[in-house]
Chains A and B, each alone.
Chain A
Amino acid sequence: MEGAEIVRLNLRINGQPHEVDDVWEGESLLYVLRERLGLPGSKNACEQGECGSCSIYLDGQLVCACLVLAGQAEDREVVTVEGLGGSNDLHPVQEAFLEAGAVQCGFCTPGLIVAAHELLSRRPDPSESEIREALAGNLCRCTGYEKIIDAVSLAGRKMAGGST
């Protein structure tokens, strides 16, 4: 691109090292994940930090990938929804979202699953209010959130049951 600085990026994603070439310095980590690395599980409903659909872990911290410049992820560890569980080994949080009926269009779902995973990792048995506070940054337009709250409680119970 004319007048643009192009960089090479090294980072670890879901446990694997990745080297990405030709990254324009203005690209977000979300863009690199989705468009350069074939990991479109992290979603892009606003790309301005308002919806949580792009929630990922960066060095163990929950962040909005749309607000992280790709260059800031150099040498760091990224975990996306794809890294939590696949179709043959669903994580209990993913399983709980299905069982509770918390998925409609599903566009909010990957971000909510990562955010719920983060909540449950520090609060294994959250109260309803704690769930609401923790997920207040994740918008969902379809479900009215009732079943998402059910899903998070259920996931907590599943995880306490030792299934993962």
Chain B
Amino acid sequence: MSTHTTAPPKTRPPGTPETTGMDAPTKDGVGSSARRPDGVPKVTGDFAYSSDLWAEGMLWGATVRSPHPRARIVSIDISKALALPGVWAVLTHEDVPGRKTYGLELPDQPVLAWDQVRYEGEAVVIIAAEHPETARRAADRVTIVYEELDPITDPEAALEVGTDALHPGGNLVRHVPIRSGDQDATADVVVTGDYATRMQDQAFLGPESGLAVPDGEGGVDLYVATQWMHVDLGQLAGSLGLTEDRVRITLAGVGGAFGAREDLSMQIHCCMLALHTNRPVKMMYSREESFYGHVHRHPARMHYEHGATKAGDLVYVKAKIVLDGGAYASSSTAVVSNAACFAAGPYNVPNTTIDGYVAYTNNPPCGAMRGFGSVQVCFAYESQMDKLADALGMDPVDLRIRNAMTTGSRLPTGQKVEGPAPVKELLESIRAMPLPPATPAGPLDLTRYPGGVSNTTHGEGVRRGIGYGVGFKNIAYSEGFDDYSTARVKLWVSGGEPIVEVHTAAAEVGQGIVTVQMQIARTELGVDQVVVLPADTQVGSAGSTSASRQTSMTGGAVRRACIAVRMRVLQKVVGTLTDDPGDLSLNGGKIVSDSLGMTLDLAEVIGAGSFEETYEYHHRKTSPLDPETGQGDAHVAFAFSAHRAVCDVDLELGLVKVVELATAQDVGKAINPQAVEGQIEGGSAQGLGLAVMEEIQIKDGKIMNPSFTDYLIPTILDMPPMQIDIMELGDPDSEYGVKGVGEPPAISSTPAIVAALRDASGKPLARIPVRPDDFLDFISSGDD
């Protein structure tokens, strides 16, 4: 791995003092690959995930779900279930104490369905019993009579006039139009294409789970794996009919998230059962239930038209994107906005006509997944760029570089890109990286061929291809949302040593935000010992662990709170060492006068007291999009990445082997380089999955493959070695210049892999995941 180093960010928020720690790195501070504090318990098995929780007298919850994608509920009979020994509660919609519906953006989803079900797997009845098997048996004894209705499973059909409305406002969840430049522009060379991406599952390994403990006074404590406790809290308290102070949420260990824990799953159900039985209740989904228990990545159908001059300058892009939102809104309104805003890619396009639609259907609900609307369009626009390069007889990377966005470029929304936009540099970096050898070196190694140890080829019929992809997306929340994070930092002395306590509600989902908080506190306060308290709702909101935002938002809040603490400590010694606080810094447990070269012991200065500050970090204001033209400065910052893929295809069997991935990404500033690499590798693997294997197969509204037997995610045999170039170009608007890291790798990897497969096979491959049949001339791929 090579690392570009550049100057620190050019601008700082006014009044922010310089950090000495940046010049003289503190041990395990910012910029080091500090070890994660939860690492030891995770390797010994001691780390308490939400599914590991246990309480004395605990009951087990279970959920009865609809077997139909669309039906009217005629009757619900729970009497036989309730009669089963060991069953403590069987609850229906009638038992929901507060608001009967919930939702991230629109409260359109029933806590428990009453008159109708809109997707297969919708929750109708919940049960608490002494043993999980008893709960399952009770579930079998609940009798629900349904009147089945024809499901609406095609999002385009859902939007046609005359189709039944699945919700009172009709089936259109949101339409985002974007118009820029000349709507009638014409061009020398025009390429069109229809592209489709299928439904992807986040497939975190730690199942949805939590433990609700009644407090005996009508309130409840919930320990749960989630991404944003405060937004859970609002929905939870509302549906429980309790004020927010009577519901306390503590983050339990989270076994991965990737967007799937943004929406509620078992939270309200588990608390209802606990409050009803007055006993602790644990709920834990099985893997099969998990496929029904969370939202997925929106499938997309995308029609594109690109126009360019003969020389290869983009003249216009027209795009129509239709997302299948499934049965409930979740975060669809924001996902479609992203899909539309980034539909033209990281390129300068003077004229654009973009329409993004998201529709209600009776398919499983779709919402947040890593990349959030940017993934689908990146596959389409990068496929188009390759097609255009082909039509122009140009090298595909040269075409991209020729049209690449730079700082100062404008999005189709009219927004100017203020920070670094190193599209050209990223592409040049990966193009210059060495290519893997043409044939595997050494003795025959089946794992290196398509088909692997199935021993289907030793290289016969195998052709290699190379493909490129570049993508981008917004960091943090957009369209005028007041996005913020809160940090409380306390400095005191314990056992003669200064110690820093950091408290935020930022959800650690595996990415390493706890480590980042510790690193920042060490650097800003020059103290070795830092404790990050468990994340809970006893401190202000940290916002969501999503949108690649926690390192910049919660990292920013922690840094600013530390700076406030530092100013107070230094105020205490102004006049002792020097009259100029700007001459003082904190390092190695000392207060250092930079000019006098003198130090004071920090612990002595703090003495018996403590210094505590809370800081609420807000990002720069954004604006809504104009509802007719889509114009507006809707986003705060952008992150870019590029991938090169080398793939082998067995053209006789349609089997593929991704041989290598090379990537370059601008992360602004790598707070923890090892963790940054981990994000890039993990995100790239998820992009690989979407390219060649991951699809929730839906037939007539029903999931055909709700298991890891049939829904395949990349294994260690599927994931190739990577070359990584981390650029640190410093965003002018964030603390330390950080940009989000997590999502971009999941965006640009997919189109690069598919481009390599096209290069190897000459096939159009307009739908992902690519299937073996797509390579074979004698088989028609069927449905599209």
Q: Do A132 and B447 touch (CB < 8 A)?
A: yes
Q: Which of B340-348, B618-626, B671-679 sits within the interface?
A: B671-679
Q: Do A105 and B86 touch (CB < 8 A)?
A: no
B253 CB contacts on chain A under 8 angstroms:
106
B130 CB contacts on chain A under 8 angstroms:
1
> How far is A146 from B45 in the complex, measured between Cα atoms in Å?
22
> How far is A48 from B708 in the complex, measured between Cα atoms in Å?
8
Of B38, B258, B721, which contacts A106 at CB under 8 A? B38
Determine whether A86 belongs to the interface, using a CB cutoff of 8 Å to chain B.
yes
Q: Which of B201-209, B458-466, B640-648, B775-783 sits within the interface?
A: B201-209
Q: Hey, what's the 0/1 contact readout for A103-147 against B, CB within 8 Å counting as 1? A: 111111110010000000000000001011101111111111111
Determine whether B43 belongs to the interface, using a CB cutoff of 8 Å to chain A.
yes
> How far is A27 from B136 in the complex, measured between Cα atoms in Å?
13
Closest chain B residue, CB of each to CB of A3: B137
> How far is A3 from B318 in the complex, measured between Cα atoms in Å?
65
Q: Do B713 and A141 touch (CB < 8 A)?
A: yes
Determine whether A148 belongs to the interface, using a CB cutoff of 8 Å to chain B.
yes
Q: How far is the CB of A33 from chain B (nearest CB, A)?
A: 10
Q: How far is the CB of A65 from chain B (nearest CB, A)?
A: 12
15 more A-B contacts (CB under 8 A) besides A99-B35, A107-B510? A2-B84, A40-B51, A44-B284, A48-B708, A90-B40, A95-B43, A105-B204, A105-B257, A105-B509, A106-B42, A106-B255, A107-B204, A107-B206, A138-B716, A146-B677
A7 CB contacts on chain B under 8 angstroms:
none
Determine whether B332 belongs to the interface, using a CB cutoff of 8 Å to chain A.
no
Q: Do A105 and B685 touch (CB < 8 A)?
A: no
Most buried by A among B33, B84, B207, B253: B207
Q: How far is the CB of A88 from chain B (nearest CB, A)?
A: 9
Known A-B contacts A105-B509, A132-B447; A147 and B681 likewise in contact (beta carbons under 8 Å):
yes
Of A81, A105, A131, which contacts B205 at CB under 8 A? A105
B684 CB contacts on chain A under 8 angstroms:
144
Known A-B contacts A90-B43, A139-B715, A149-B716; A50 and B709 likewise in contact (beta carbons under 8 Å):
yes
Q: Do B40 and A87 touch (CB < 8 A)?
A: yes
Q: Do B205 and A132 touch (CB < 8 A)?
A: no
> How far is A148 from B719 in the complex, measured between Cα atoms in Å?
12
Q: Do B52 and A1 touch (CB < 8 A)?
A: no
**Can you sample 21 A-B contacts with CB below 8 Å?**
A1-B85, A1-B134, A26-B133, A40-B48, A45-B255, A48-B709, A81-B43, A87-B41, A87-B46, A98-B40, A101-B675, A105-B204, A105-B509, A106-B255, A107-B510, A133-B447, A145-B719, A146-B677, A146-B719, A146-B721, A148-B716
> How far is A94 from B41 in the complex, measured between Cα atoms in Å?
10
Determine whether B717 belongs to the interface, using a CB cutoff of 8 Å to chain A.
yes
Q: Do B453 and A142 touch (CB < 8 A)?
A: no
Q: Do B205 and A136 touch (CB < 8 A)?
A: no
Interface residues of B (CB under 8 A from A): 33, 35-36, 38-49, 51-52, 54, 84-86, 130-131, 133-134, 137, 202-207, 253-258, 284, 286-287, 445, 447-448, 453, 509-512, 674-675, 677-678, 680-686, 707-709, 713-717, 719, 721-722
Of A41, A51, A53, A139, which contacts B46 at CB under 8 A? A41
> How far is A24 from B38 in the complex, measured between Cα atoms in Å?
34
> How far is A48 from B716 in the complex, measured between Cα atoms in Å?
19
Q: Hey, what's the 0/1 contact readout for A80-93 against B, CB within 8 Å counting as 1? A: 11100111001000
Interface majority SS (helix, strand, loop, mixed), chain B: loop
Determine whether A34 belongs to the interface, using a CB cutoff of 8 Å to chain B.
yes
Interface majority SS (helix, strand, loop, mixed), chain A: loop
Q: How far is the CB of A100 from chain B (nearest CB, A)?
A: 8
Q: Do A133 and B453 touch (CB < 8 A)?
A: yes
Q: Do B204 and A141 touch (CB < 8 A)?
A: yes
Q: Do A132 and B133 touch (CB < 8 A)?
A: no
B677 CB contacts on chain A under 8 angstroms:
101, 146-147
Closest chain B residue, CB of each to CB of A82: B45
B33 CB contacts on chain A under 8 angstroms:
101
> How far is A87 from B42 in the complex, measured between Cα atoms in Å?
10
Known A-B contacts A35-B54, A48-B708, A147-B681; A132 and B717 likewise in contact (beta carbons under 8 Å):
yes
Q: Do B678 and A104 touch (CB < 8 A)?
A: yes
Closest chain A residue, CB of each to CB of B724: A146
A133 CB contacts on chain B under 8 angstroms:
447, 453, 717
Known A-B contacts A45-B255, A46-B707; A81 and B719 likewise in contact (beta carbons under 8 Å):
no
Complex A-B, nearest 4 residue pairs according to Cβ-Cβ distance, in ascending order = A41-B45, A105-B510, A106-B42, A144-B681
A153 CB contacts on chain B under 8 angstroms:
none
> How far is A136 from B46 in the complex, measured between Cα atoms in Å?
25
Of B54, B680, B716, which contacts A132 at CB under 8 A? B716
Q: How far is the CB of A99 from chain B (nearest CB, A)?
A: 8
Q: How far is the CB of B749 from chain A (nearest CB, A)?
A: 10
> How far is A62 from B207 in the complex, measured between Cα atoms in Å?
23
Q: Hey, what's the 0/1 contact readout for A24-42 against B, CB within 8 Å counting as 1? A: 1011000000110011111
B448 CB contacts on chain A under 8 angstroms:
129
> How far is A95 from B286 in the complex, measured between Cα atoms in Å?
31
Closest chain A residue, CB of each to CB of B711: A50
Closest chain A residue, CB of each to CB of B749: A144
B447 CB contacts on chain A under 8 angstroms:
129, 132-133
A50 CB contacts on chain B under 8 angstroms:
287, 707-709
